[in-house]
Structure 1
Amino acid sequence: METIEQSIIPGLPDDLALRCIAKLSHGYHGTLECVSKGWRDLVRSEDYSCYKARNGWSGSWLFVLTQGLKNRWVAYDPDADRWHPLPRNIAVQDGWDHHGFEYVCVSSCLLVIGGCYVSSSSPREKTVVTGDVVRFDPFKKEWKRVASMRTPRAHFACAAVSGKVYVAGGRSAYSRLSNLVDSSSAEVYDPVADRWEELPAVPRPQMNSSGLGLSYKGSFHVMSDQVGIAEQISSGVFNPLEMSWSTVVDNWPSLMNYTVQVMKDDRPYTIVDSGLGGNVIQTRDTYEGEWYSVGSVPCVVVPNHPGESSPVVGFGFAALRDELCVIGGHVRIKLDAARFQIVRSSVMMVCNPLDRPLNWRETKPMCIPAGGLIIGCVSLEESSPP
């Protein structure tokens, strides 16, 4: 650290004071900067961010992108119970919409990977598929371009497994007749070396388009988005240790609308429509592989919108620490017997799935203007013990 004329905290050695402040989560930075000019300069310094990064004190974050935010993510800090807008994604230029990208957290950073760019002003403009990758560093609070994928792709399978990012399949181009051209390639990204390497091709053609990626039991699972409820289906599984694919017949729920979240104990959870006007949390039996319900997701009460509300749709679903999070979405409010109103929700509800019955609580709502349909959400867990 550079010499500071005054002590960071009077009565404490600067190295101990630095350690105390650096232990606080990023959610408190606004408050810290208001203490004094010295603290503000400290929190914004390169030395401070490097010190936190060196000790692995990234904190835990939930990154969320909602429709209409023009590729500007927001981040939730559970320690401070606060939401913060991130700088706008530098990869997306004005006049273009970004679709079909993937996102993952690895090495204490958020990665936004690939996708396609569609002109928002000229629908006839050619759709561009990209291999671009940008990284958001929560220590420096900035986006940076990193190594691009070897194969540009959109709507592909992606997951982080053991500190590396695996991608497979997807759509690599658009033909003149607007038919999608699928890619059977797969590759892996090493964030430490900032390098992509090719992997053996995806073994089954039907898994190439719009496959869904999942990190489960130390392997990269690629599942079709056409999976049926409670059906035995085949998925491609890549074993990083053996560097090979295998086909596994297994039981997975419908993934058309929602995703599977895997907790630290390798137990997966998902949300399904019960068919009775409500959403239900399901988990999987460790031994039998069958899915069963553990509780329902409550309806959202929207402030200033009296009336009976229907279950949320278009929400985000994520695991953060030991809790499951249901974020945002659209709520249908019943005004009378014949009229309804669709309202954007900025509410986040969390519960510990091991507590039965499920005990849901609301966190602080997303910061304005975030809310409504969730395009992406992913959690970042602190890698080193506090």
Structure 2
Amino acid sequence: MSTSTTATATATVKPSATSPPQPPQLIPSLPDDVALNIIARIPRCHHPTLSLVSKPMKSLISSPVLYTARSLLNAPEHFLYITLRLPHSPFLRFYALHQISTQPNNNPKNILVPLPHFPSPSLVASTFAAIGPRIYVIGGSVQDIPSSHVWSLDCRTHTWEAAPNMRVSRELAAAGVVDDKIYVIGGCVVDNWARSKNWAEVYDPKTGKWNSVPSPIEVRDKWMHASAVIDGKVYAMGDRNGVCYEVKSGSWGAVETDLDNGWRGRACVIDGVLFCYDYLGKIRGFDVKEGIWKELKGLDKVLPKFLCGATMVNLGGKLMVVWESKDGGGGKGMEIWCAEIEVKKDEAGDLWGKIEWSDVVLTVPLRTFIANCLAVAL
């Protein structure tokens, strides 16, 4: 009796001879950490094909783990995202610049590919910023009423989600990213204590919180038409004199006169030089260390003579210029052009540009305009 009971108990606790099934490997015969190291080096244009290989591969392609690995390997690629406002559409339209092969000569061609619709209709005068793989659409107005809403586009999956609201509603604000935090300046009328206290705010994606940035009354009550970050300073250009906020010291100051007077439209910064166009539509760069404007030479025979209204962005160290052209639309539409320019400073200190490519990337209806463009590392 006792022996039988003991045998039964022993049989009950005996481990199963069948081991639990192991999850499938990313690459058979290779450890997953080695496979991840290999896959992270593959250009992103091949990711759609890789996602068809297996379920584990498809899961990895859309996982933050892959993009973290690409960042650690210093292998991220820089992609251009453009925002357009089309006539008769209440929604902003977002596009990503893709390079495709053409037949029969197989020469690559750059085109704008549409992304999922922006969730909020009728939003105008928003501010844009990019941190890591995300683009943030900040504030704006709906039927002339400023909004505090913030939306985030995950460029890895091209999905939209709501981000935490700002403390203050804004339109036509300035924004700059320093140390992976978004600083937003102005765009609101300081007619009460709350708006005055939060005239400038900072957003930390890690905590998901907005906090006020102390600002003196002398710099408030400004609408901003342009912004940029140079050497840890956020420059916000108002209708009357720009302001500058140094993040490290928390100090505010005025933008120097030469920079303020010569800054026109949307600008970008490459190696300490702020590029924009001048009154004649020519691209110029403001060398911060020297404190002077210089013409970007070497482009006269390639780019249009009049570039006012163009948008510029630093795309992985290259100057990307985006503009609208009605010349090739045949009277029924207009063209969106892009040019990628390598910029450098010679021994004499002069700025030179070399166009790597320039082409039409999209044809759109008349009265379409470019709201913004940003570079995202993926």
TM range (shorter): 0.7 to 0.9
Structure 1 residue 10 displacement after superposition: 5.3
Pick from 358, 366, 370: which aligns with 2:361? 366
Alignment of 1:170-249 (within 5 A): 170-171=187-188, 185-201=199-215, 203-204=217-218, 208-225=222-239, 234-249=241-256
Q: Please tell me whether the aligned partners of residues 331 and 342 of structure 1 are also in contact (alpha carbons under 8 angstroms).
A: no
Distance 1:342 1:297 in 2: 29
Letter in 2 for 1:88: H
- 1:342-363 alpha-carbon deviations (Å, 9 max, x no partner): 8522321111121775321326
Letter in 2 for 1:374: I
Q: Which residue of 1 aligns with 2:129?
A: 104
SS at match of 1:237: strand
Letter in 2 for 1:87: P
Letter in 2 for 1:32: L
Structure 1 residue 15 displacement after superposition: 3.6
SS at match of 1:251: helix
% identity of equivalent residues: 20
Q: Please tell me whether the aligned partners of residues 171 and 183 of structure 1 are also in contact (alpha carbons under 8 angstroms).
A: no
Relative to 1, partners in 2 of residues 1:18 and 1:381: Cα closer, same or farther, differing over 3 Å? closer
Q: Superposition RMSD on alpha carbons, in Å? A: 3.7
Relative to 1, partners in 2 of residues 1:131 and 1:241: Cα closer, same or farther, differing over 3 Å? same
Which of these two proteins has the greater Rg computed from alpha carbons? Answer: 2
Q: Please tell me whether the aligned partners of residues 169 and 186 of structure 1 are also in contact (alpha carbons under 8 angstroms).
A: yes
Relative to 1, partners in 2 of residues 1:43 and 1:317: Cα closer, same or farther, differing over 3 Å? farther
State yes or no: 1:345 paired with 2:335.
Answer: yes
- 1:229-253 alpha-carbon deviations (Å, 9 max, x no partner): xxxxx53222222223233433226
SS at match of 1:327: strand
Q: Which residue of 1 aligns with 2:292?
A: 290
Q: Which residue of 1 aligns with 2:4?
A: none
Distance 1:376 1:162 in 2: 22
Q: Which residue of 1 aligns with 2:268?
A: 261
Q: Please tell me whether the aligned partners of residues 232 and 248 of structure 2 are also in contact (alpha carbons under 8 angstroms).
A: no
Q: Which residue of 2 aligns with 1:304?
A: none
SS at match of 1:346: strand
Q: Please tell me whether the aligned partners of residues 278 and 308 of structure 2 are also in contact (alpha carbons under 8 angstroms).
A: no
Q: Which residue of 2 aligns with 1:116?
A: 141
Pick from 115, 138, 144: which aligns with 2:155? 138
- 1:262-291 alpha-carbon deviations (Å, 9 max, x no partner): 11x2221112242xxxx3221124444121
Q: Please tell me whether the aligned partners of residues 95 and 113 of structure 2 are also in contact (alpha carbons under 8 angstroms).
A: yes
Relative to 1, partners in 2 of residues 1:111 and 1:381: Cα closer, same or farther, differing over 3 Å? same
Letter in 2 for 1:45: S
Q: Which residue of 1 aligns with 2:41?
A: 23
Pick from 54, 65, 75: which aligns with 2:96? 75
Structure 1 residue 139 displacement after superposition: 2.5
Relative to 1, partners in 2 of residues 1:130 and 1:189: Cα closer, same or farther, differing over 3 Å? same
Q: Please tell me whether the aligned partners of residues 155 and 209 of structure 1 are also in contact (alpha carbons under 8 angstroms).
A: yes
User: 4+ residue runs of structure 1 moved beyond 6 angstroms?
Assistant: 181-184
Letter in 1 for 2:66: K
SS at match of 1:28: helix
Structure 1 residue 325 displacement after superposition: 1.0
Structure 1 residue 102 displacement after superposition: 0.4
Distance 1:315 1:283 in 2: 14
Structure 1 residue 30 displacement after superposition: 2.8
Distance 2:27 2:159 in 1: 28
Structure 1 residue 128 displacement after superposition: 2.6
Letter in 2 for 1:150: R
Distance 1:262 1:10 in 2: 45
Structure 1 residue 221 displacement after superposition: 1.8
SS at match of 2:39: helix
Distance 2:289 2:264 in 1: 26
Which has more helix, going by share of residues? 2
- 1:31-80 alpha-carbon deviations (Å, 9 max, x no partner): 334xx451xx3454268512123325453121101221732311225799
SS at match of 1:20: helix
Pick from 273, 276, 281: which aligns with 1:270? 276
Distance 1:367 1:49 in 2: 30
Structure 2 unpaired stretches of 5+: 1-20, 101-107, 346-350
Bigger mean CA deviation after superposition, 13-22 or 314-323: 13-22
Distance 2:122 2:197 in 1: 22
Relative to 1, partners in 2 of residues 1:364 and 1:52: Cα closer, same or farther, differing over 3 Å? farther
Bigger mean CA deviation after superposition, 46-55 or 132-141: 46-55
SS at match of 1:200: coil
Q: Please tell me whether the aligned partners of residues 267 and 311 of structure 2 are also in contact (alpha carbons under 8 angstroms).
A: no
Q: Please tell me whether the aligned partners of residues 74 and 370 of structure 1 are also in contact (alpha carbons under 8 angstroms).
A: no
SS at match of 1:222: strand
